């Protein structure tokens, strides 16, 4: 159960957007990691610099740590209450938030297991993170735009301007 706060703190907001930037980076450069990973496991030689793999591991591990840190802050400081809206939409918004935490934490852990110990099943699990993330971020983005331009409430503002 999360404590209820008056709004997101500067730290929560900074972490939200930092994770967004790092995940976008992983998203657009992940295919280089796939080429290098397959080459390391008997596939055709990769036409990309092996340094990209190190960057993928470091950025991915950073996403993992930052998401766990966010969960810690959510537990101790809390999050603002859900806006007044249909209970089904409240449920959907919460489910998408939980899904984002699970997908990124679980996906990054699977990536680590695949890279360091068990390439097969864990690699597959890591690959599944991508389509799931696409659906979750799409729903999340549609929700944010819906609140900003249709409902016209302060949901977007509270992930931009820190509460006191």
Residue ranges that bind ligand HEM, judged by CB under 6 A:
12, 16, 19-20, 23, 26-27, 30-31, 33-34, 37-38, 56-57, 60-61, 63-64, 70, 74, 79-80, 97, 100-101, 104, 107-108, 111-112, 114-115, 123, 126-127, 130, 137, 140-141, 144, 155-156, 158-159
Listed as own residue / partner, the contacts of 109-118 with beta carbons closer than 8 Å and 24 or more positions apart are 109/64, 111/57, 111/60, 112/57, 112/60, 112/61, 112/64, 114/37, 115/37, 115/57
Q: Is 4 helix (H, G, I), strand (E, B) or coil?
A: strand
CB of 120 to ligand HEM, least distance (A): 8
Listed in sequence order, the residues at least 6 apart from 62 whose beta carbon sits closer than 8 Å to its beta carbon are: 22
CB of 10 to ligand HEM, least distance (A): 13
CB of 27 to ligand HEM, least distance (A): 5
Judge contact between 8 and 79, C-beta under 8 A: yes
CB of 22 to ligand HEM, least distance (A): 7
């Amino acid at each position: 159960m999360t404590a209820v706060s008056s709004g997101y703190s500067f730290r929560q907001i900074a972490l939200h957007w930092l994770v967004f930037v790092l995940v976008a980076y992983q998203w657009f450069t992940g295919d280089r990691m796939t080429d290098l990973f397959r080459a390391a496991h008997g596939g055709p030689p990769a036409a990309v610099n092996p340094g990209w793999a190190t960057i993928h591991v470091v950025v991915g591990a950073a996403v993992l740590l930052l998401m766990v840190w966010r969960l810690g802050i959510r537990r101790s400081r809390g999050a603002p209450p859900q806006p007044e809206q249909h209970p089904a939409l409240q449920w959907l918004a919460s489910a998408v938030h939980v899904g984002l935490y699970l997908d990124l934490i679980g996906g990054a852990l699977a990536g680590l297991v695949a890279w360091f110990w068990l390439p097969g099943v864990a690699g597959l699990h890591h690959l599944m993170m991508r389509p799931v993330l696409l659906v979750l971020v799409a729903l999340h983005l549609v929700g944010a735009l819906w609140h900003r331009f249709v409902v016209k409430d302060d949901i977007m503002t509270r992930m931009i301007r820190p509460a006191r």
